[in-house]
Structure 1
């Protein structure tokens, strides 16, 4: 009895063990219930919206008529030969290069000052960051009046004896785009400052102390130690700045409405102009798809450039 029962036990155990997986079935990922709402939101809204926009981009449609005409890739062909589109691309590139360079310099300088022995440092940080929390819709009338022909800027220039420099800043093509860039730099330098300030707190103080013991001054320590440690933050800011430049809409639309003579036309304002006032919904959708593709490619290029730079350092 004992031997037979001992011989049969392994078989029973093997049979029961082999049968368990078949009865249970495949196991679900344990975190699926937690990510399911975000997954449904992303797939149901974002990706569905992208797909539907891609479909609309193949139509000649005003957004209201019940029978849209399918035109295939004709809207994309029209984009290639659209001079206003290429002007908007040129404005976007210039806008990104200038604003990113100046914001990087100012944000880095403000962060270095905040890390030094500065009196009223808390008030200083608040003053630098205040423009970030102000809505462009609130500040747009202020800037329109400031840069108007009879605005405060020209009045100040006249009072200090530089009246010859007074001009309609947002009313001529040569100065309208620099005004938009100035407003953007004033508004978003606070973000650059905060990110650089946070990144500087991660620099090992012992390395800075060793550099100072070796005779390195403040500028040498900034150039040789702190700035290389901030490259990851700089790449992230470049990606955010590039995507933000491609999405620029509120400031140029509220201040200059894309004018004068398309001098401050960006991809965002041009998409709105084509879709809403002109009712070229299909063409506006094609512009939106181009904007999405360019944003993804630019983010990918900047990310790869940052990785190659880090690999070269190692």
Structure 2
């Protein structure tokens, strides 16, 4: 028996050794991720680094003359009142769009998880604006809010002609029109995320709450809303980054006007880099936008973890 045990032990050791040698001989996963790694590092991070380098230059983007100015472009940017206005517009844009989209998204998701007919049709109607290109929808909204457009025509037709006005000439109205277009176009994505998250909640939990006498509002606030906290955090991060990068809707509808009332960081970067041919200052704006996006995402994530720790989750 001793000999047999020794033989078995030797066999197991030999098998383990062969497996170990075989494992070392197998190719690692590096060859598979190397192309994506090269593209990511070679293109993405190289471009970020090159943009950082450009932000230290005074250059028009075409001339061979490049003057090294250090951090002067950043100082010019922080002295620019339009930068602060664009930043304020971006912050307001984010707060309003995020709050309204979350409210609409979770309500629509709850409704379509209830007993409704033609659910698929409703989902399609909610999601259709997401797939429409801003280049095709912007002229429609320009026509709606034009001085002789659809909205003023409807107001005059129902006897409220006194409310008709050139909507884009008022900075406050113009900014909230841009916000409303963004809400209309992006709520479908928020709805889909919440719809999927609510689908992961056990039906037995909701049924038990109904048996205990909880109404719809109570179920949403006490069961559904806490259960989709992770989805809400993800939406907050995506909305913040999207707001910082906003360009197409304000540029195509108002071009940043009137008097920079709808100017955003994205439109400001385009205006400075392309229209004013100040590539160095535009690069400085881009670097600050990148830092703001990363910082905002980190703050939202850290803040959510802190609240969860305090709540004992």
Normalising to structure 2: TM-score of the pair?
0.91
2:171 is the counterpart of 1:193: no
Unaligned runs of 5+ in 1: 1-16
Larger radius of gyration: 1
* TM-fit CA distance, 1:310: 2.5
Report deviation, 1:91. 0.1
Q: Give secondary structure in 2 for the equivalent of 1:84.
A: helix
Greater CA drift, 84-93 or 203-212: 203-212
Query: 1:128-186, CA deviations, whole angstroms, 9 ceiling, x for partnerless residues?
Result: 00000000001011111111010001111111122111111122212110000010000
Equivalences for 1:145-294 in 2 at 5 Å? 145-294=143-292
Change (3 A) 1:158 1:232: same
Once the two structures are superposed, the pairs formed by residues 96-175 of structure 1 within 5 Å of their partners are 96-175=94-173
User: 2:93 matched to 1:88?
Assistant: no
Task: Please give the alpha-carbon distance, in whole angstroms, between the structure 2 residues aligned to 1:246 and 1:176.
Answer: 18
Give 1:119 deviation, angstroms: 1.0
Q: Flag the 1:28–1:161 CA change in 2: closer, same or farther, 3 A.
A: farther
TM-superposed CA distance for 1:27, in Å, is: 7.8
Q: Which runs of 5+ in 2 are unaligned?
A: 1-16
Following superposition, the deviation at residue 36 of structure 1 comes to: 0.6
Q: Which moved more, 1:302-311 or 1:224-233?
A: 302-311
Counterpart of 1:10 in structure 2 is none
Following the alignment from structure 1 to structure 2, what is the Cα–Cα distance between the partners of residues 296 and 264?
23
Runs in 1 of length 4+ with deviation above 3 angstroms?
A: 26-29
Is structure 2 residue 295 aligned with structure 1 residue 297?
A: yes
Cα distance in 2 for residues equivalent to 1:209 and 1:309: 28
CA distance in 1, matches of 2:214, 2:142: 47
Tell me the alpha carbon deviations over residues 9-45 of structure 1, each in whole angstroms, 9 at most, x when there is no partner.
xxxxxxxx9xx99xx9x98971101111110011010
Q: CA RMSD in A?
A: 1.8
2:51 to 47, 50, 53: 53
What is the match of residue 75 of structure 1? 73
Partner Cα separation in structure 2 for residue 264 and residue 156 of structure 1: 25
Q: Secondary structure at the match of 2:275?
A: coil
The CA distance in 2 between the partners of 1:144 and 1:135, in whole Å, is 15
Write the distance in 1 (CA, Å) between the matches of 2:51 and 2:160: 51
How many pairs were matched up?
Answer: 294
1: CA distance, partners of 2:123 / 2:267: 33
Structure-2 separation of matches of 1:27 and 1:56: 46
Q: SS where residue 36 of structure 2 aligns? A: helix
Q: Could you tell me how far apart the structure 2 residues matched to 1:220 and 1:277 are?
A: 54
* SS, match of residue 169 in structure 2: coil
Q: Secondary structure at the match of 1:170?
A: helix
